[in-house]
Amino acid sequence: MVPSTWDQPQLGLLLGIAADLNIPVSGLVDSAVAAGVSMEPAVPHLHLDLQQGRFVLTELQSRTQLSRSGVFIICETGLSAVRDGWANIIADVFVRQTRFDPLHTAATEQQLYNKLDGWLVEIEAVGSAALEMSAGEKSYTVQVAGDQLLSASSTIYPQIVQQIRPRAKGILAVSHRLADFPGLKDSLELIAGLELKWLDENAAARGALAKTGLFKTDPDTRNVNFLTSLPLSAESSGEQAAVTDELLPSHLLYRARAYPLDQGPIVLGADPKAGGRAITLVGMLDGVSRKHCTINQIKGRTHVEDHSSYGTFVNDRAVTGTAALVLGDVIRMGSPGETAQLIGMSK
């Protein structure tokens, strides 16, 4: 799976590296298209992604196939620049509140960057967070709200909205790389005629694996196909079904007990009081709501829906509304909280 913006020289370089490492490549596919196919039947019209050096909007068309129809570079500011902006803002808060400068030494600067993603998840989930850093035997703690981080992206969000608004119709699929950007969800929700769907990190992989029969290398020329469209609602071959089945969980594991997913929704919480199936969480219940989240499986696809006040996390990423689940995903409720894992039973 490759970004929509990659050109032929970049694709050739990738294939050359794979060949030198003796990694067989059966095909290449546009990652936005693959992610969109994973959302069937509610396929998106737009896909928003973040690369290391740019924000990218991909326009998609769906008929019998989901096809890439346009690629737009929103701005040349990417993940590295935004992360640097957040790090500088947080460092400034430490200096103003404690006189401790995390950027003064390489060791504490690295500590800040190592903790940054986890801090962003917590801030986006509950609006603010207590951030702690250590230097030698001393520990420093500051309170940071999401609003304080907005200046790092204040020039980017209007550009994103400006690009999306004239194309707004149907569903916008948003990459998991943007899930914890403070204030982005609020900005996107201002666009009329658009339904937001937040992708999990495995969405593109699921879409590509569901279409493995299409990736066929020419045995004579050894040419590799690069697909920018994939068929929708096609019957899977036996080989395709076998691959995708490996990603499908069958049970939810909580405290050594496995609960089948195909017998109806499962509500989890400190006191769920569900009319149907429920799991009452015990143990570390700080930040756990009475009815915290629901796990549901429909037509083999498993999702989690968040009902909580303080957030549900999948692989330590905050869930916004609902999120798709695959085999091995870990759901955390509360902080440090209770965890449950998606598992599969061998037949």
Residue 314: per-residue pLDDT: 86
Helix (H, G, I), strand (E, B) or coil at 263: coil
pLDDT tens readout for residues 9-18: 888 899 999 9
Q: Residue range 32-61: average pLDDT?
A: 89
C-alpha span between 262 and 272 (Å, rounded) = 20
Residue 219: per-residue pLDDT: 57
Whole-Å CA distances, 311 to 142, 149, 175, 286, 290 = 21, 19, 19, 11, 12
Q: Residue range 179-196: average pLDDT?
A: 84
**Cα dihedral 91, 94, 96, 102 in deg (nearest 10):** -60
**Which tops the pLDDT comparison, 78 or 150?**
150
Residue 109 burial by CB count (10 A; 0-12/13-18/19+): exposed, middle or buried?
Answer: middle
Q: pLDDT band for position 176 (50/70/90)?
A: confident
Q: Residue range 122-127: average pLDDT?
A: 79
Residue 316 DSSP class: T
Helix (H, G, I), strand (E, B) or coil at 193: coil
Q: Residue range 93-111: average pLDDT?
A: 93
**Does the pLDDT of residue 239 top 60, yes or no?**
no
CB 55 within 8 A of CB 73: yes
DSSP H/E element including 9? helix 8-20
Whole-Å CA distances, 155 to 151, 159, 184 = 8, 7, 12
The sign of the torsion formed by the CA atoms of 336, 340, 341, 346 equals: positive
Q: pLDDT band for position 107 (50/70/90)?
A: very high
CB 289 within 8 A of CB 269: yes
Out of 84-88, 155-159, 160-164, 278-282, which region has the weakest mean confidence (pLDDT)? 155-159
Give whichever of 32-36, 117-121, 232-236, 245-249 has the largest mean pLDDT: 32-36
Q: Concatenated DSSP letters for 138-185?
A: EEEEEEEEHHHHGGGTTTHHHHHHHHHGGG--EEEEE-GGGTT-TTHH
Residue 243: per-residue pLDDT: 36
Q: Residue range 23-50: average pLDDT?
A: 90
**Does the pLDDT of residue 244 top 70, yes or no?**
no
pTM, full prediction: 0.61
**Does the pLDDT of residue 188 top 50, yes or no?**
yes
C-alpha span between 71 and 64 (Å, rounded) = 21
CB 244 within 8 A of CB 47: no
Residue 315: per-residue pLDDT: 81
Residue 270: per-residue pLDDT: 93
C-alpha span between 324 and 331 (Å, rounded) = 11
pLDDT tens readout for residues 211-238: 877 776 555 556 777 888 888 874 333 3
ω before 9 within 30° of 0 (cis)?
no
Of all residues in the chain, the percent with pLDDT exceeding 90 is 35
**Greatest pairwise CA separation for the chain in angstroms:** 67
Out of 54-68, 148-162, 291-305, which region has the weakest mean confidence (pLDDT)? 148-162
Mean pLDDT, the chain, whole residue set: 85
C-alpha span between 200 and 191 (Å, rounded) = 22
φ, ψ dihedrals at 166, nearest 5°: -70, -15
Whole-Å CA distances, 83 to 89, 153, 156, 158, 262 = 10, 10, 13, 18, 41
Residue 2 DSSP class: B
Q: Residue range 113-122: average pLDDT?
A: 85
Domains of the chain, with CATH numbers?
A: 8-76+155-238 (3.30.420), 79-151 (3.90.640.10), 251-343 (2.60.200.20)
Q: Residue range 30-45: average pLDDT?
A: 91
- Neighbour tally for 342: CB within 10 Å: 24
**Does the pLDDT of residue 25 top 90, yes or no?**
no
